[in-house]
């Protein structure tokens, strides 16, 4: 069994793959980019100067081995990347091209995309970009939301029945008690409305994990790349849009991020949605409820460095109508 936490074994494995062998080169260096919170992600440098990403999908979380995470997610990612590569060659956004698929070892080799994660760009100690760049970034994000709902995959039921969806819904079920404890007005109504959001547009493809760490921004090319497709499922694009908005809203309230930039990007996304996607959306989707769902759920993550979590959530709930105005 290959130990995908060990760089030596990762390099030895990669050199046996058909894709690396076809380059007539060998892997010279492996750099760990993500260390098993969910997946192991390595950047491999080849002797010819090229690079490739190796992504291994383990059966559980490193920090909690008893938390099983279905390895079928590798098929969700690979199938989606194959479809994107053939259907969206001229889009204002990109996704990694899949090079090699090994379902036995749960490994994908894929294109090494250029750019810095939007999460890192918005961190308080990052000054690599100008604030005005947020305008084209927000437009590209909304373009993606509009495009990806029409993605055609060989078997949509693979996504409609994703084994990861019940796990993610289980995390959401904690919201009701949190909202009750925090005295959020009309708690049960908010919760019921959010649950109903998952039933809308079930024939549409949904990316499923739209947050700043899944977005790479290439400032030189003025282009974004969307990575990490394993949580793809079916549903309305509003689920993705409000997930991104909730992340940005909490960034805008926290001490770890450029709050003004996060709030500006959130506003720009809403404005772009109102002029492009909202007029042609024929579904009755409850954007406000989906947004509050994510705000409450994501507020439990400590990296925002919020002064007071309950006060922040109550503030964002009170402002929800204005947020979408």
The CATH number of whichever domain residue 311 belongs to comes to 3.90.1200.10
CA dihedral 251, 247, 303, 110 (to 10 degrees): -120
Domain assignment present for residue 255? The answer is: yes
Angle between helices 165-172 and 287-298 (to 10 degrees): 80
Residues 24 and 95 in one domain: yes
Residues 21 and 158 in one domain: no
Residue environment code for 246-277, b if the CB has 16+ CB neighbours within 10 A, otherwise e: bbbbbbbbbebbbbebbebbbbbbbebbeeeb
Q: What is the pLDDT of residue 310?
A: 97
Residues 200 and 291 in one domain: yes
Domain assignment present for residue 2? The answer is: no
The pTM of the full predicted model, rounded to 2 decimals, is: 0.95
Domain assignment present for residue 148? The answer is: yes
Domain that holds residue 270: 116-323
Domain assignment present for residue 301? The answer is: yes
Residues 56 and 17 in one domain: yes
Domain assignment present for residue 1? The answer is: no
Distances (CA, A) of 82 to 6, 73, 151, 255, 325: 28, 14, 11, 39, 37
Residues 50 and 11 in one domain: yes
Q: What is the pLDDT of residue 168?
A: 87
Residues 182 and 283 in one domain: yes
* pLDDT, block means (10 residues), the chain with 325 residues: 96 97 97 89 97 96 86 97 95 96 98 95 79 90 97 98 91 90 95 96 97 95 96 98 99 96 96 97 97 97 96 98 97
Question: Which segments of 210-280 are extended strands (E)?
Answer: 215-218, 223-226, 233-234
Domains in the chain, number: 2
Which of 110, 138, 155 is at the close of a domain?
110
Rounded CA-CA distance 238/287 in Å is 6
Residues 57 and 91 in one domain: yes
């Amino acid at each position: 069994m290959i130990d995908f936490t060990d760089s030596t074994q990762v390099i030895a494995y990669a050199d046996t793959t058909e894709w690396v062998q076809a380059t007539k080169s060998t892997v010279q260096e492996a750099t760990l980019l993500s260390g098993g919170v969910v997946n192991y992600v390595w950047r491999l440098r080849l002797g010819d100067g090229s690079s490739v990403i190796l992504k291994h999908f383990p059966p559980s979380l490193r920090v909690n081995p008893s938390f099983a995470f279905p390895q079928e997610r590798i098929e969700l990612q690979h199938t989606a990347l194959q479809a994107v590569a053939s259907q969206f060659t001229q889009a204002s956004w990109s996704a990694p091209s899949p090079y090699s698929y090994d379902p036995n070892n749960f490994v994908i080799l894929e294109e090494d995309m250029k750019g810095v994660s939007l999460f890192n760009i918005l961190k308080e100690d990052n000054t690599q970009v100008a604030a005005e760049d947020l305008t084209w970034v927000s437009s590209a994000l909304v373009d993606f939301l509009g495009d990806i709902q029409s993605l055609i995959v060989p078997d949509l039921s693979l996504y409609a029945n994703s084994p990861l969806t019940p796990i993610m819904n289980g995390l959401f079920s904690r919201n009701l008690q949190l909202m009750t404890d925090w005295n959020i007005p009309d708690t049960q109504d908010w919760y019921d409305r959010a649950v109903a959001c998952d039933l809308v547009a079930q024939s549409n493809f949904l990316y499923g994990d739209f947050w700043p760490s899944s977005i790479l921004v290439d400032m030189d090319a003025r282009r974004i790349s969307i990575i990490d497709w394993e949580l793809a499922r079916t549903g309305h694009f509003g689920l993705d849009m409000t997930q991104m908005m909730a992340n940005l809203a909490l960034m805008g309230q926290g001490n770890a991020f450029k709050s003004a930039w996060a709030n500006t990007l959130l506003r720009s996304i809403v404005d772009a949605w109102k002029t492009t996607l909202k007029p042609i959306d024929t579904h009755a989707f409850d954007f406000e409820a989906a947004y509050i769902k994510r705000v409450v759920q994501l507020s439990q993550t400590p990296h925002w460095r919020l002064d007071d979590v309950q006060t922040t959530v109550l503030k964002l709930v009170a402002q929800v109508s204005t947020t979408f105005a």
